Amino acid sequence: MQHSGLDRRYRNPALPPGQRAAILVAQMTLREKIAQMLHRAPPLPRLDVPAYNWWNEGLHGVGRAGRATVFPQAIGLAATFNAPLVGRVAAVISDEARAKHHQALRQNHRGMYVGLTYWSPNINIFRDPRWGRGQETYGECPFLTARMGVAFVQGLQGHHPRYLKLVATPKHYAVHSGPEPLRHSFNAVVSPRDLRETYLPAFQACVQEAGAWSVMGAYNRTNGEPCCGSATLLQEILREEWGFSGYVVSDCWAIKDFHLHHKVTRTPAESVALAVKNGCDLNCGDIYPRLLAAVQQGLIGEAELTRSVQRLFTARFKLGMFDPENKVPWSRLPPRIVNCAQHRRLARRAARESIVLLKNANALLPLNKDINSILVVGPAACRLDVLLGNYNGLAPQLTTLLEGITGAVSAGTKVTWCSGWDRADLEWNLADVDVIIACLGFTPELEGEETAARVGDRVRIGLPGRQLALLRQLHATGKPVVLVLTGGSPIELNWAQAHIPAILLVWYPGEAGGHALADVLFGDYNPAGRLPVTFIKSLDDIPPFTDYTMRGRTYRFMAKTPLYPFGYGLSYTTFKYSNLKVSGVRGRGSGAPAGTRNRPSPAFKVSVQVANTGPRDGDEVVQLYVRNQAAGVPVPIRQLAGFRRLHLRKGRKKTVAFLLKREQLAAYDNHGQPFVAAGKYNIHIGGGQTGGLGRQVCF
């Protein structure tokens, strides 16, 4: 539709996106600008601007939009310790998102979950095992989270010189990780050291290294400021310090919390003014229409709204929304790629790589496919929701754990299933059983985001309900038991570790979960997943849930011995480390800030030889840890500083090298300023936090 008097230069693809946005927004009225700051942005027919819904989810596949490839939940992706794989997963998600978006436009469908602006990844630190949303994260380690987050953001946004494939939105910024029922009113009090050392590094990496074009604020306050209206977080750190030039979106309906629950403002008009003045450009919710009253009351100027709307339209221009299809490289991706065979294969690979072997006494696993009789017990064996986790899509081929087991064994193998709750039924099935596979653990009903129907967090972290009693009953039969665990969080497994011979953790494994489990159970795949979170022995071993200080939490600061440490995972083969070399030391530290210009980086090259000394081909996850002994201030007990997943055939060996950058040696003073002190640093490299090889170096 043509309109006389319009400055249509914003339609010119040759102009920079920011200039095009400025030209378009300059022609909007105040009311039109305000309307475009809502996640359900209405059309502006006189300006040829179509309606757009900004809300889309893609944690582990295109979410809530029907057919899609469903990958393992984010915590499972983290357990792969394979950042390139996570990048490939994200690239597939973005392919499917583009294909679904353009097909939806052909159908004149512009509603929720078919857009190009994705509110993923969740890069909050999983600091407490009770948090229900920990499943959405990459675990408890800032370094691992940063590497996975960067790979995911780059996979979503692509690397085109002109266009963004999607907009990625790291969330929830910042210091957000439960308790769920308190998130709308809670004030997370953190020291400058903890803020900079633990809670911000992944966000900084996603913004500065990966170029994330959007960030979502958190519900909570941080040190007294509501995160979606925090001058410290949104202005001083995100924009001024990190140079972020994209847009900020609020968590959904978070702005009304300012006056209703946080009590930092008195009225809706004050709340929306505070949010926009401090840089929250887009409102997930419906409160930003109060900006009209805020302008009329002199709480905010129209120029500040204009700034936000220009940021939003810059993103839409960078996505190619106003350009001819032949200019946008992904507009011709055919709908048939959604959940295609290639993507399904990747989902199966990711699920395989995510599985963690926690115990394998007397090499019970892998099982023989020609075994005579298997009894599969437990509700998780047949449930679809334990494949999906939350924020998920739907795949047309979802393989349950029972289906995977049944499909993998010999035609002569008897497979029986029972829930386990009926004692008579269980005893009837035990007559000729060779092995019991108990599929237990958590479900999305028991852990997840707070909703009207559930709290989300866990009060206890042991096996839920009567599952431990069932497991004891199975053990008492004298039959060998393989425990298969579903869930997205650490589980207290003290009794199981002491009594059950084999334990596998499959997380929420996605559409191919059953196939992946069977691949590991029967030896078609050698497991090598590693824990991205610490499995503690008891909640008594960690601080209260509402304490956001890091002292006593996670592998970096926890003095008590866990049941299974961060980075832990077993294999069907063995690996040996040798020939550790540390080279490239370039002078001694001066105590200057880690970010000082002209400081040499990397500081060290660390290399080691890894040999597969066991009976099977397999993957090893090489992990590099650093301990700072020189700082003179509180520092982590150890800190992951590098990891590499590699495949080695039996009898083969390979040299693996890491570049240990100067900033990775930094400690933080009481003001949160990084510095690298002269002195001793311990370097450890191996398949986990223990074992392997160590060296002390001076810098």
**H/E element, 424:** helix 423-428
Q: Catalytic one among 96, 447, 450, 519?
A: 447
Pairing of strands 167-168, 117-118: parallel
C-alpha distances out from residue 64 to 297, 301, 326, Å: 40, 37, 28
Residue 463: CB atoms within 10 A of its CB come to 22
As a whole number of angstroms, the distance between CA 151 and CA 534 comes to 23
Q: Is 251 marked active-site?
A: yes
Provide the 8-state DSSP code for 367.
Answer: P
Side by side, the strands of the sheet bearing 221-222 are 187-188, 221-222, 225-226
Which residues, in sequence order, are bridge partners of residue 38?
A: 283
What is the chain's length?
A: 699
Map 285-347 to HEC letters.
Answer: CCCHHHHHHHHHCCCCCHHHHHHHHHHHHHHHHHCCCCCCHHHCCCCCCCHHHCCCHHHHHHH
Cα–Cα distance for residue pair 358/502, rounded to 1 Å: 7
Angle of helix 341-354 relative to helix 513-521, nearest 10 degrees, comes to 50
Q: Which of 57, 251, 270, 353 is catalytic?
A: 251
CA distances from 447 to 105, 130, 459, 483 (A): 35, 9, 10, 20
Quick one: tokens of 258?
């300012």
E strand or H helix at 502, and its extent? strand 502-507
Cβ neighbors of 573 (< 8 A, separation 6 or more) are 526, 612, 613, 614, 615, 616, 617, 618, 650
Please check whether residue 91 is in contact with residue 155, taking contact to mean a CB–CB distance below 8 angstroms: yes
Closest CA to 227 of 173, 191, 274, 288: 173
Q: What is the DSSP letter of 486?
A: E
Residue 438: how many other CB atoms lie within 10 Å: 26
**Neighbouring C-beta atoms of residue 326, cutoff 10 Å:** 8
Residue keyed to tokens 């002994």: 629
5 burial level (CB within 10 Å; 0-12, 13-18, 19+):
exposed
Structure tokens given for 530: 């590693």
Strands 618-628 and 481-486, how do they pair?
unpaired
Nearest to 42 by CA among 289, 268, 392, 339: 289
Tell me the DSSP string of 16-38: -HHHHHHHHHTT--HHHHHHTTB
Q: Is 240 helix (H, G, I), strand (E, B) or coil?
A: helix
Whether 620 is catalytic: no
What positions carry a catalytic annotation?
251, 447
